[in-house]
Every structure is written in structure tokens, then in C-alpha cells.
Copies of this chain bind each other. A is one copy, B any other.
């Protein structure tokens, strides 16, 4: 391949408009100190020549790179992609993040990073050195990884921690895990359920704990007992199956179960079927995530939606604001997670009901 050069550079524009490079640069960057005459004249040349600045050159001269790095967990993401179970976390991130970036002339670059490895730092600093991003978006479980958070806080790059709570550096955005777990639990309580089981997610994710907290709060507030109703999974189908079996084969089984993600909810549905329990008549189920798959089960699952697109969009906004020098939000940003009602929830029936 022959050496490629920029087709139209700032020099061409400057020559065409008969002004200095700096003036063109000022117009590109919307700086205030340009007379409107000048601004019009230069803009005309830009449009005429179809000039677009090279982000490489912009970054080189110490300015922005217009690149925002979105980092996901490598193993889980690849596993999801290969499993082809319809998990659309990445798509929703792109929907929210990419489009918001585009609005501001930024680009989102997706990266996969291992959480576990001892060289997280090296992976991250390599990506930063290579790309020089203007901001970084962390998703769970990275958002809660102290090693990553500490490393980034020393890098002088704004970063947002999705699904996290302000407990360290960076800007946190929560998807209201505690609140939505409370809402889901209350929803069941209001229908008359008293024995509501809960399947927790992987402990590596802080949000797993908050969901448990929300459930417990709602149960306590209603005077319902929690004993024997909490089981631990790790977000996998298999772990959900085991947890559901423990809950449903106990002497006093729950009349409803909330699972901390869709895969574990699916497993619960299957275990119920095995045990001859009709859903929702014999057992109500609510799941977390609301990935596409839960609309296609029989019955479709009532689920707590994860507003990933809205969250990613907000994350981009916060980074761009921080870039501009605006102060980071002082309070925790929370994007609420709505409960989507479908067919897997009903009033309790039989002896364990209300």
C-alpha cells in the first residue's frame, strides 16, 4: 500500500480562505475569539473542500483524541457471544454509547480486558498508550475492581464506573439495583406472596449484594421472613438450576422466586417444570436483565430491565463534560430500572400463599 496522506489538511483550508492555520484551528474548535465574518469565510472553505480534521493530528498536538474506550470483561463477553443466547448487553451499550458519542463528534472503541489476570494494569496502560482515549467506561465487574480503579485514578483520564456505587475514584453510575430489587419484591408482596425466594448473583459483582439488600428490605418492611429463602448463584444457568432446586425442594417452598439474572430465571423455570409446578399459578418468577430471551419463554418472564443504553449514553455525557473541565457530579447518578410485567407472575395459590 502506498503511503497515504491526508487528502485535505488545515493548510489547504488556510490557503483557500487566505488566513493563518491558527484561525482555521479556532474555527474547527468553535473558539469564541473569531469574528463572525472570519468564521463564515473559513467555514465556507471547509465545506467547499470537504475538510475533516485528522484525530491523529489533533491528539498529537496535545488536544483531544475524540475517542472513548468502553471496556468489558473479556471472558464473559466472549462466552456470551459464542453461546448465542441473545444476550444484548454489548448491543445496548453501543446503542446508547455510540450514538451519544456521534452526537459530539466522538467515537467509541470497544475493548475486552481480563479482570482476573495479574496484568490488568499492563493491558489497560497499553490500550491507553496506544489510543490516548479522552475517557474510559468501565462495566461490571471491572467497575468494582480496586486494582483498575486505582490505576485509572492515577492516569488523569476521566472514567465512569457503570453499575457501581461511589466508593473510590471515578464517576459512578448506578442502575438502582437495590431499588429495583425492592420494587420487584414489593410487587410480589402486594399480590399476596409472603414466601419470596431470592437467587443472588456472583459475589464478584457488588451489585449482587445490593439486589439482595433490596429484597431483604422489602421483606423486612412487610414483616415477611427471609430465612431459608436466599440462595447463591453466580449468574450461570447451572448455578441457577442448583439454587432453584434447593429453594423448591425445601419443605416449605417459596410461592415466588426472584433471580438475579435471566439465565438463572430460565433455569428456575425449567426446574419448576420438572417439579410439575405451573408458572405462574404454582410459582411466580421475576428475573433481572430483561434480555431478549425472556420474551420467548412459556410464559414470558416478568423482568427488571437493565437500562444499559441509557446508562452508556449518560456515561458518555459525563465523560465529555469532564473533558471540558466541568466538575464531576457530586452525587451518585442513578438510572432507574423499570419492572417489565409479563406472564410469569400471578397471585399465590395454595397453602403457601397470602
List residues of chain A with CB under 8 Å of any chain B CB.
Answer: 1-8, 50-57, 59-60, 62, 65-66, 78, 80-82, 84-86, 88, 90-92, 94-95, 98-99, 102, 107-110, 112, 122, 125-126, 129-132, 134, 156-158, 291-293, 296-298, 309, 322-323, 325
| B86 & A129 in contact (Cβ 8 Å cutoff) | no
Residues of B within 8 A of A99 (CB): 78
Q: Which of B81, B122, B130 contacts A92 (CB 8 A)?
A: B81
Residues of B within 8 A of A157 (CB): 4
Q: How far is it, in angstroms, between the C-alpha of A116 and the C-alpha of B119 when the chains are bound?
A: 46
Q: Which of B60, B78, B86 contacts A293 (CB 8 A)?
A: B86
Q: How far is it, in angstroms, between the C-alpha of A33 and the C-alpha of B152 when the chains are bound?
A: 38
Closest chain-B Cβ to A287's Cβ sits at a distance in Å of 15
Q: Which of B53, B92, B98, B158 contacts A1 (CB 8 A)?
A: B158
Considering the complex, give the chain B residue whose CB is closest to the CB of A52. B129
Q: How far is it, in angstroms, between the C-alpha of A130 and the C-alpha of B107 when the chains are bound?
A: 10
Most chain B CB atoms below 10 A, which of A8, A57, A95, A292: A292
Q: When A7-B129, A130-B55 are in contact, do A82 and B98 touch as well, CB less than 8 Å?
A: no
Residues of B within 8 A of A86 (CB): 86, 88, 291-293, 296
| A56 & B52 in contact (Cβ 8 Å cutoff) | no
| A129 & B88 in contact (Cβ 8 Å cutoff) | no
Residues of B within 8 A of A55 (CB): 56, 130-131
Q: How far is it, in angstroms, between the C-alpha of A298 and the C-alpha of B299 when the chains are bound?
A: 12
A sample of 28 cross-chain residue pairs with beta-carbon separation below 8 angstroms, ordered by A number, consists of A1-B156, A1-B322, A4-B156, A4-B157, A6-B129, A7-B125, A50-B126, A51-B129, A52-B130, A53-B130, A54-B59, A54-B60, A54-B130, A54-B132, A56-B60, A57-B60, A81-B91, A81-B92, A81-B94, A82-B95, A84-B88, A84-B292, A86-B291, A88-B91, A90-B90, A90-B94, A91-B91, A108-B110
| B95 & A132 in contact (Cβ 8 Å cutoff) | no
Q: When A56-B56, A88-B84 are in contact, do A62 and B296 touch as well, CB less than 8 Å?
A: no
Q: How far is it, in angstroms, between the C-alpha of A293 and the C-alpha of B293 when the chains are bound?
A: 7
Q: When A60-B56, A109-B107, A156-B2 are in contact, do A85 and B292 touch as well, CB less than 8 Å?
A: yes
Residues of B within 8 A of A122 (CB): 50
Please name the 3 residue pairs, one residue from A and one from B, whose CB atoms are nearest each other, closest first.
A86-B86, A86-B292, A52-B129
Residues of B within 8 A of A53 (CB): 129-130
Q: How far is it, in angstroms, between the C-alpha of A7 and the C-alpha of B121 when the chains are bound?
A: 14
| A54 & B129 in contact (Cβ 8 Å cutoff) | yes
4 other contacts beyond A60-B60, A90-B94, with CB at 8 A cut-off? A51-B129, A56-B65, A81-B92, A108-B110
Q: Which of B56, B91, B98, B156 contacts A59 (CB 8 A)?
A: B56
Q: When A95-B81, A110-B110 are in contact, do A126 and B56 touch as well, CB less than 8 Å?
A: no
Most chain B CB atoms below 10 A, which of A86, A126, A325: A86
Considering the complex, give the chain B residue whose CB is closest to the CB of A92. B81
Residues of B within 8 A of A108 (CB): 110
Q: How far is it, in angstroms, between the C-alpha of A322 and the C-alpha of B130 when the chains are bound?
A: 23
| A323 & B52 in contact (Cβ 8 Å cutoff) | no
Considering the complex, give the chain B residue whose CB is closest to the CB of A158. B1
Closest chain-B Cβ to A294's Cβ sits at a distance in Å of 10
Residues of B within 8 A of A4 (CB): 62, 132, 156-157
